Structure 1
Amino acid sequence: MSDTPLVSVVVPTYDRPDRLRRALESVAAQTYPNVELVVVDDCSPTPLEPVVERVDLGGLHGVTYLRNEENRGGSATRNRGIRAATGEYVAFLDDDDEWKPTKLTRQVETFAASDDDVGLVYVGTELRRDGHPVNTVVHSLRGWVTEDLLRGASISEYSGVLVRADVFDTVGFPDERFPSWQDREWFVRLSTSYAFEACEEPLVVRHLDGDDRVTKNYETKRDVTYPLFVETFRPLAVEYGVERPFEAAMTGKMGRTAVQHGYYADARRFLGRSLRLDPTDLEGYLFLATALGGRYTYAPARRGRQFLHRVVGL
């Protein structure tokens, strides 16, 4: 591998030209010198190739624009981009996120300093609203992290990771059956074969304005993603001896999401089961209290969670 291996950046996109332009500009602004870009348009009503052409991408190694003939969803669109990538590393960027200029440089440097068993390097995220930073999320989980992920730990979203291209030969591609939790599903599988490394800097920018991501579709997550995820990974949780913590974590995540979207009956059901499985989850009690109170906002739970993070360190 050369000192500056080629990094392929895969950007799946659908009908968000202004956000796509911002994302592509952040790729063009990377300090890392050897980058190819693969944009896959998931059959937007108006093709987005003109948006790609209007961004100055002349400093990149190459630019590929692909367009699905029909809408296929996030995972299938991302997978098409992966198959078109030619780099030694592959990075992902959602079209409503952007990167800080040193993101790829720091990740390639981290790979170079890591052991050969590392297959994924991730960075932290800066959250912005109306263009202003409101929070940062930086995790430090590293090494062989399968058990941690099964217990509900997080690392990053797709936009924050860089992987070796050969990992797809070992663990396969993201599972196209999942309409949400697509990144979590693939990260768990990847973690069974590769160690993870963290770059503890918030080098992804996620914009919260008009956040209409597929993960916002609560009913699909409840009826499709959640049962499929539990069915898929319960055997692995049993193998690692963490079946009970795994179920507590997944039902807890669903309960928090239900509170966020005002599905309070669901929230009480999910959080009640989660807390029976793990009565030490202090944050879960805050969300359950919000659901029991019947307020049509999850702001009380959010404020309580911020307090726990600040004072207790959860």
Structure 2
Amino acid sequence: MTDTADSPRSDTDGLVSVVVPTHYRNDRLRGALESVAAQEYEPIETIVVDGAEDERARPVAEEFDATYVAQERDEGPQAARSEGAERADGEYVQFLDDDDRLAPSKIRKQVPRLGPEVGVVYCGMDDEERGRIRPNPVVRGDVLGRALEMRTFPCINSTMLIDRETIERVLPLRHRHGADDTGLKIDLALQTTFDFVAEPLVFRGRTGDSLSESWRYLDGRLSVIATYDRLYRQFPDRIRERALRETHYQAGRKLLAEEGWSPRATAAFARAAWETPDDYAYHVGATLGSLAGSPGLAAVDRLFDRSGY
């Protein structure tokens, strides 16, 4: 049969299971499920895992003929992803945050990249705040070192498509509130190699509480570093140092975003400069620039061509 817009087909008949965790955000959830329904690939099954106590998302899930799962206890989105993946029947698993959207060709373009040696394929994204973000060409193949450094972006939950055998080897997913995908990528990188489709095939939305979510994420990153302490010891010191640097650096940026000027931000940038094994001049500059608040940091970003942050 010839592919048409009305009759999407794939070169493979492997079922894809799309797992969507949600929690009191039916407006966002509907958009996410619409993007699944628009995929140029089949077959697809959709599993909505709802953390709301009153089964708030059930009517939306049923509207899209999705399997509805009510969590007995809301333990966060990673627990929801884990429960959804354990119920999935697909040959491939796609996690989709309820505030993100998949481009129609997302799954169709990623499935052919998966194979015996590649268990994870991710893609670029269009971010609601930061614009278009393409994969770093070096984040391909064995990415364990980069995952430990926490430098695999834009490889996140919604951009990844994961082979079933690979995800089964890391189930149940560890529950880390805020930094869920950071530890997941380390676990996946221990099992398989990664590839990517460079195109931005995910639109990443931002909710009104994204800043507070980011603080939980930063706290979670420190927890991940502690959890994998023995693994970090198998790598050069610079791997852990980069992970700590990026965590403190992002904390500094968040503090300035909240307050405009903050001595705690300067302290965070100073910790990043202390930890960094490279790019020392920039991080010292960021520390000094932060003394003038957000405008000072922006000036340092321009000086070092970091305007994309």
- Does the alignment reach a TM-score above 0.5? yes
Match of 1:138 among 135, 139, 162: 135
Report the CA distance shift for 1:14/1:106 in structure 2 as closer, same or farther (over 3 A): same
Other-structure match for 2:251? 257
Superposed displacement of residue 195, structure 1: 0.6
- Partner of 1:307, secondary structure, is coil
Other-structure match for 1:187? 185
| Residue identity matched to 2:290 | A
Question: What's the C-alpha RMSD, in Å, of the aligned pairs?
Answer: 2.8
Within 5 A, what are the aligned runs for 1:67-146?
67-111=70-114, 114=115, 116-128=116-128, 134-140=131-137, 141-146=139-144
Superposed displacement of residue 68, structure 1: 1.6
Could you list the runs of 5+ residues in structure 1 that have no partner in the other structure? 58-62
Could you list the runs of 5+ residues in structure 2 that have no partner in the other structure? 1-10
- Partner of 1:166, secondary structure, is helix
| Residue identity matched to 1:73 | G
Report the CA distance shift for 1:206/1:285 in structure 2 as closer, same or farther (over 3 A): farther
| Residue identity matched to 1:227 | L
Report the CA distance shift for 1:279/1:187 in structure 2 as closer, same or farther (over 3 A): closer
Number of residue pairs the alignment of both structures matches: 292
Q: Within 1, Cα distance between the matches of 2:85 and 2:55?
A: 23
| Residue identity matched to 2:48 | V
Match of 2:31 among 8, 14, 22: 22
Work out whether residues 145 and 191 of structure 1, in 8 Å CA contact, stay in contact via their aligned partners in 2.
yes
Superposed displacement of residue 106, structure 1: 0.6
| Residue identity matched to 1:92 | F
Other-structure match for 2:230? 235
Worse-matched range after superposition: 83-92 or 66-75? 66-75
Other-structure match for 1:215? 213
- Partner of 2:128, secondary structure, is strand
- Partner of 1:308, secondary structure, is coil
Q: Within 1, Cα distance between the matches of 2:282 and 2:54?
A: 42
Work out whether residues 7 and 90 of structure 1, in 8 Å CA contact, stay in contact via their aligned partners in 2.
yes
- Percent of aligned pairs with the same amino acid: 28
Runs of 4+ in 1 over 6 A off after TM superposition: none
Other-structure match for 1:60? none
| Residue identity matched to 1:119 | G
Within 5 A, what are the aligned runs for 1:137-176?
137-140=134-137, 141-155=139-153, 156-176=155-175
| Residue identity matched to 2:266 | R
Work out whether residues 5 and 88 of structure 1, in 8 Å CA contact, stay in contact via their aligned partners in 2.
yes
Superposed displacement of residue 35, structure 1: 0.4
| Residue identity matched to 1:276 | W
